[in-house]
Structure formats: structure tokens, C-alpha cells
Amino acid sequence: MFMEQHELISAEFTRRRFIKGAGAAAVAVGVMGTSTGIASAAKVAAPKKGGTLKLGVVGGANDVFDAQYIVAKADQARTLSTFESLMTFDTKFAPQTKHGLAESAKAVNPSKYVVKIRKGVKFHDGTPLTSADVVASFQRLLDPAQKTTGKPLRTFLNNASVVATDANTVEFNLLIPNVDFIAVLAGYTYTIAKKGYDGKTQIGTSAYKLDSYTPGRESTHSRFDGYWDKTEQYLDKVQIIDFADKTALVNALVAKQIDAAIDIPFEQWQTIKSKKYLTAVENSAGAWLAMCMRIDIKPFDDNNVRQALRLIVNRKQMVKQVLNGHGKIANDLYGYIDEFYNANNFPQREQDIPAAVALLKKSGYSKANPLKVELTAPDDTGGLVLMIQAFAEMAKKTDGVVVVDAKVIDGGTYWSAKGQYMNTGFYTTYWSPRAYLAQVAASMDVYPELKWPPAGSTFRADYEKAVGINNKEKRKVVVAKMQKEEFEKGGYIIPFFNNFADAYSTKLQGVDTGPSQLNMGYYGHGFKGWYLA
């Protein structure tokens, strides 16, 4: 997974830090087509039609193109250029109908939701979107035989739960209550495909239709003249071009061979900022990089080991060394945008080498019998390589008690089905911003990176309880319990929250630069509103 992964890939299950007052009420009772939109960057020229946008991403032969499964950011860009979900998120991470296929979404009660589908929406082959397509899309997500990101949905739905009541209305009858289910519908991999979709023929409803796709190289998309939102499509074509690594990506941007680049490395930030013909933007919504310790693989099944390795990290140094200052320190907890982030007010973890060595001594490790671990990172994801190298250096402060072998792996190999990702004991990952309970669902069921929760834990039951609680303070109590278990026994080492960094030609206009779960304002929700001046 190049994640979000994973950037996930995402099932969004909880209120956001910024959803308060009327916003929170909207989540509880429904969302209509009046939601706040995403703020656009200043436009230096009037919008005009025409031109081909060349968007650069790091990718390779293991790229995935599927309406409901994403591994890499290259996959994100292609999926969002072709398919659309029922709902989307605004800049405050509240669910909205803007850019989505739903005209409205309402809660009858916490176990029943009714979605009205926009009328007049057509697929790229000209056939109309109906409720039957929505039902079929969710049934595919619910099918365990299909490789999708739908596993978290199976907590709340089965095939009988999703019902078309007429050509434009779908009812969701939940198996257990979820007061945030409308936000779930905004998951960017929960897109709607035609009934009968097999994952091979990419026919969506977006502003641009797929013309051609060569895995590991590029895809070409042309403007769909039958698109339902005719006021926001300007480009004639979009080319999404794969590059083998970040260096090649940045070189192509600086040489004006492409118009935009996703996820530029922060070590190149000043170089790009110095080019008057380029615009560099960063998003500080709360993405994160992490080192993953699988709790079912030795020696990481020992909590003394897990907590000792967390204490080795100098987080302030990590932000400076790995992110070049473009981020903020973290505390091994995720969900920074959530209103219940760090609900227990745990003190900030600091580097404490004596405490780390003492914990390891309890498990029999010493300079004479050191803890030797291999830590891997892919070469295609900004920050991960520098992170493992920095961690390996920090481990040397244990005076030989901990020895870290930091290995850089080809990205195509690393994220593959038999690669290091999720198959080894100590490796790295990255995630886009998500609310806490949304991340819990994704980490348990979509990408079980840690094999969490441990046997005998009430963590999963607590999650299922929390999503059904509408009372803010009562939900906080359950979330605090879950976070306490992760803080004291978890397998993620999360040193910081990193900003997204993207860059593009000053000729490219209409790009949304407000807070977003994905790069470049959700890739313009399929490049809507983007134009070449």
C-alpha cells in the first residue's frame, strides 16, 4: 500500500475536531446540498477551456486501478479522476453533498439512513445512474470475496441492509447504530460504479473519462461532456504520469515536463519555492508517518519491546531532520483532526534511553544479548526512508542494547502482496488525515498493520459501542479508554504529523489549497475547476 494508503482508504466514522454546533447537528440529522464548499486558491486569470494537464505521481507496475480499492497515491489520482462517492468532505472535514452523487442524506434514526441520488447523472457510457448501481456498489464492498476497502462496512451492513426504494432512493438499515454513518458515505474509496462492475472496465460518473491506462506508466482521461456539473470542467485532457521515484518527479517538474507533482519531498521544498514559475503548497491537516510493530511477531509481541522502542525516539529531532520542520510532533496517537484527540491528555513522550533500556532488561536484553531488529521503508514515499535512518541512529544511544538495521526497499516490491508491508514485524506506513474512529476501523480491518487488537482486549467491542453513541461526553469516555490501551500497549510509533506538500506550474489555476484529506484538494475532486491559464 502506498497508503491511505492507505491514504485508504477510508471509512470516516466520527465527528471531526472542527465539527461543532450546527455542523455536529448536520452529521446527526442529515446533510443537504447546502454544505460549505472548499475554498479555492486565488485565480490570476479567468477560467478557460482547453489544454492537457500533466500530473506527476510516484508509481510503478504494482499500481492499482479500481473504484473501491486504493494502494498508492497514483491509484488515488486515477480513481478520483474516474469515480465519485455519494458524499465528500469539506475543508472542516464535515460531510457534504457538494461534488458527491447524493442530493441529500438523512438519518431517520441512528440505525436507518435515507439517501436521495442526484437526477440526471450519467456514466461515461451514457447510461443513467440509478439506485440499483448504488446498491450493487455497496454489495461489492460488502462481499468478502472482493478485494476492496469495504471490510469496515461489514460491521454495520450486509446485503439485505442496502435497499433501493425507488430509482433515486437508497435506504441503509444498519445492523448496529452509527451516528456518523453519513460521514462513512464520504469515504473516497466507497465510490459508485455501474451494476455489474468487475474491477476491469473503468466506467465512472466523473468529469473525466478514461481513454487509456498502462500500469506503471500513465493514464489519459478526456473531458466527459455528459457530466452532471457542467460548470466546472475546463481541461480537455488529463494525463497522470508515473515516475519511479521522487527525484525523477521533481526533476520533471522543474524542467517543465509536467504541470503538477504530488507529494514533493520537503528536502526539495526551498528549491521548488525558488522557482518563480512554480507554486508550492502544503496542507497541515494531520497526515502521519509511522513505524509499525506487529504484535503477533516476535520480538514485538512483547509489550516491553514495543514501549521501549517508542522511548528511543527524539520527536523534535525527527520533525527537523525528516520533515525539515514541515510538521508537528506526535505522541503515538493518531486522529489529530478529531475533537477527542488525546482524550486522556497524556503527557508528551520524550526520548528516555535509560527507561527504554530498563524495559528491555526486563525482557532479557542487554549489551551482551542485544535486541536486533530490521526496519524497512519503501523508496517511493517521502519521509519514510529518512525516518528509519534517523531512528537507527537514535537507537545507537542505547550503547548496543538495541541494534536497528534500516533497509530501503524498492517501492514496487515493498507494497506488493508478498512485500515487506504488513508481512514483516517492523516496517513503515503512512496515512492521510482521518478522525479517530475512522482510523480505528481502517487499521483493524482494511489494513491490519499491527494485527491489533490483542487477544482478550475489549478494543473492538469498545469501537462498536463508541460509533453508536450520540452523546458527546459519553462517547469521549469510550474513546479515552481505547486511546489509553493504544498508548500503553499499541504497536505504532508515530513521531509526528507531517504536512502534505505539492507543487505545480503557476499556469495551473483553480486548485483548492484549503485543508483536505488528500493532496491538492482531493485532486480537485477529479480536476474540477482546474484550468491552464
Q: Contact, 106 vs 30, CB < 8 A?
A: yes
pLDDT digits (tens, 9 = 90+) for 40-84: 344 468 898 999 999 999 988 888 999 999 888 899 999 999 999
Query: Above 80 in pLDDT, residue 321?
Result: yes
pLDDT digits (tens, 9 = 90+) for 203-245: 999 999 999 999 989 999 999 999 999 777 999 999 999 999 8
pLDDT digits (tens, 9 = 90+) for 95-131: 999 999 999 999 999 999 999 999 999 999 999 999 9
Residue labelled with grid coordinates 499556469: 507
Residue labelled with grid coordinates 480536476: 527
pLDDT digits (tens, 9 = 90+) for 486-528: 999 999 999 999 998 999 999 999 998 888 989 999 999 999 9
Task: Please state the domain extents for the chain.
Answer: 285-498
pTM over 0.75: yes
Average pLDDT over residues 398-420: 94
Give CATH for domain 285-498. 3.10.105.10
What is the distance between the alpha carbons of residues 137 and 115, in angstroms, rounded to a whole number? 14
DSSP letter for 366, please. Answer: -
Average pLDDT over residues 312-331: 97
For residue 512, the number of C-alpha atoms closer than 13 Å in the C-beta half-sphere is 21
Listed range (230-234, 255-259, 330-334) with the worst mean pLDDT: 230-234
Cα radius of gyration rounded to whole Å, the chain: 23
- CA distances to 235, 315, 327 from 320, in Å: 39, 9, 9
